[in-house]
Chains A and B, each alone.
Chain A
Amino acid sequence: MEPTLDLRAALRDMILARRVDTEAIALQRQGELGLWPSMLGQEGAQVGAGSALRPRDVVFPTYREHAVAWCFGVDPVQLLGLFRGTTMGGWDPAERGFQLYTLVIGAQTLHAVGYAMGIVRDGDVGTGDPDRDRAVLVFLGDGALSEGETNEAFVWAAAQNLPVVFFCQNNQWAISAPFSVQSRVPAAQRASGFGFPGVQVDGNDVAACHAATEQALAQARAGGGPTLIEAVTYRRNPHTTSDDDLRYRDAAENDHWRDLDPVDRLRTTLLESGAIDDAFLAAVAAEEQELAERLRTGCRALPVPSHDDPFLHTLHTMTPELARQRDEHLAFVAAGEEGPA
């Protein structure tokens, strides 16, 4: 099967998604966000995977899939709410099939498996109708390979031959723990022990990531079961804006990976082949500026939820005791707003 990636579009997506990341870091430095998990260096893996999705596919992300969200049409401003403290979610997961970010490592792998069970029961696998067949793409990091829940997800997916693709971005570091702490073998090799294919790709090669994901998703949609993809890449920034990565790794290692940067690499290739020119890059740069502006104003304009909100969305119907607690809280807040008597 021939990959269908439009390399010019992929480059544009990578550049714009990187700008989302850069602006978010700046917003965090300005005190507008409490925290930001940067994906710098992982644009190739994420755009490669994200561009292989079809609208009816469903994505279960961790908390670092900003470029996948971009590819799947999630408003990047909405990515900021969780980190700004205006929401615990940020977007409607049912609207696009891009589920909420999951902070507990590996928990989403099982949700993906359950969703895939639902797809099978809906009869939306292996019909041969491209408008009907669906699959689930779930993201995990190298650290998640050590979680029991991830391994349970592998067991489930294999036993039930589920239409789920596990996309592991091996960015080498689970906060300060290197990959060697997680595994003696490449992540992709784990899959064979569970009885499904594992594929290792260069995570900084967007075309390779796209091809591997497209093939795995096609297989899943056709009823061919799960695949584990290991995209070998590198997280060039600290784990989050709160992390100090120079405590646990050498700057020289980072320099090495900077030279393998997925964005630079594709830009150079496309310039050399004449597929893009300076005018293309200037147009993308102008889009970047617009995007940055939208992120800055959009972030500050994110609505602060009402004090009522958590009470309304705890259970489907509010219980009398919770209603009492809500009234007490709202009265307390209102008194504070009136100032001292």
Chain B
Amino acid sequence: MSTETKNQAMAHALNQALRDELDTDPKVLLVGEDIGELGGVFRVTDGLAKDFGGTRVVTSPLGEAGIVGSAIGLAMAGYRPVVEIQFDGFVFPAMNQIVTQLAKYRHRSEGRVSLPVVVRIPVGGGIGAIEHHSESPEAYFAHTPGLRVVCPSTPQEAYALMRAAIRCEDPVIFLEPKKAYWSKGPVDHAAGAAPREALDRARVAREGDALTIATYGALTATALKAADELAAEGTEVEVIDLRTIAPLDHETVVASVRRTGRLVIAHEASQSGGIGGELAARVQRDAFFELEAPVLRVTGYDTPYPASRLEEEWLPGLDRLLDACDASLAY
């Protein structure tokens, strides 16, 4: 097991997290399309089949329902499967298994049976991909009681949260922002898995008192850039990386909004029925009198994800985020 801090891309941090959990717990195994020799289409499982063998790192037949459905059976048999869905847009054939089976079994068995399954899904756009390769399906999962939904924003978070997710007794939908796969950051492997509570808590990525931006995944980096720009103008913005989308840690956001009085929520997923609406509702419930401005959202639009030549403008980016912050601050 690696013990030093490294400057590492998120894909490599995830690889190390999977490696360390495979090393630690013989019940952990990886299953997915092309994850063996190829190392997955994003190479997140690179080298693991070679080191742990084909029974721990299993290249599966092509079938998403089969991948998740068989992981359920493996978990029932006492294993801790970590499965890979190749792309966000390909998870839907597995939705039945995720929604009607994986999410429900703890409740159906009155708490007797846990299904510690991690479903890894590369998510989001901004990489110039073609159709079905840039989706943000998190709200579908967050709407299903019984699932946890995690989305890291940095290599360190990816490493620690992946290890925590694998150790968690609940099913975890682990969303890996593709756009962040190759951005580097320091990763302290010695710190090991994040404490389980991290799967319940948001993270304050930058402190400030003028306005709160709440976001997650690849957009966290954009929000930090926005905060830098506003700081240059003398406005200190607090950036909260939600980290987990279900459960949604609105309390950390509420505590921040009580100080700043302003909230801008940013996510790539389309607006209607999105996580931003849920967060906004809870914040106005708990901090109505502290709000100096309406809660604003910067999101993808309520359209299908566009052709990649249009995605730069379609996606919430730095300019749209700064516009929203200005609008909030103008109240």
Contact = CB atoms under 8 A, between A and B. Distances in A.
A118 interface: yes
B66 A156 contact: yes
Contacts of B65: 110, 148-149, 152
Given A99-B76, A121-B79, A156-B61, A113 B70 contact: yes
A149 B107 contact: no
Interface in B108-134: 108-114
A110 B110 contact: no
A153 B65 CA distance: 9
Contacts of B248: 321
B304 to A, nearest CB: 24
B273 interface: no
Given A88-B104, A89-B108, A314-B106, A121 B69 contact: no
B200 interface: yes
Contacts, number: 139
Contacts of A316: 106, 114, 168-170
B70 A92 contact: no
Interface string A87-128: 111001110000110101001011111111111011000000
Nearest to B148: A315
B60 to A, nearest CB: 8
Nearest to A119: B77
A335 interface: no
Interface residues of A, number: 45
B146 A315 contact: yes
A304 interface: no
Contact of A152 (B66, B169, B250): B66
A320 interface: yes
A145 B229 CA distance: 59
Contact of A319 (B79, B113, B114, B200): B200
**Of A118, A119, A155, most B-chain CB atoms within 10 Å:** A118
A116 B109 CA distance: 20
Contact of B63 (A104, A111, A115, A152): A152
Interface stretch (A22-30, A42-50, A240-248, A305-313): A305-313
A177 interface: no
Given A114-B71, A121-B79, A321-B250, A313 B110 contact: yes
Contacts of A313: 106-107, 109-111
B74 A117 contact: yes
B44 interface: no
Contacts of A175: none
A113 B104 contact: no
Given A93-B76, A114-B73, 19 more contacts: A107-B97, A109-B69, A110-B68, A110-B97, A113-B69, A114-B77, A117-B74, A118-B76, A121-B55, A122-B77, A149-B96, A152-B63, A156-B70, A310-B107, A313-B106, A315-B148, A317-B196, A320-B200, A320-B251
11 contacts: A93-B113, A115-B73, A122-B78, A152-B69, A153-B66, A153-B69, A156-B70, A309-B110, A313-B111, A320-B251, A322-B247
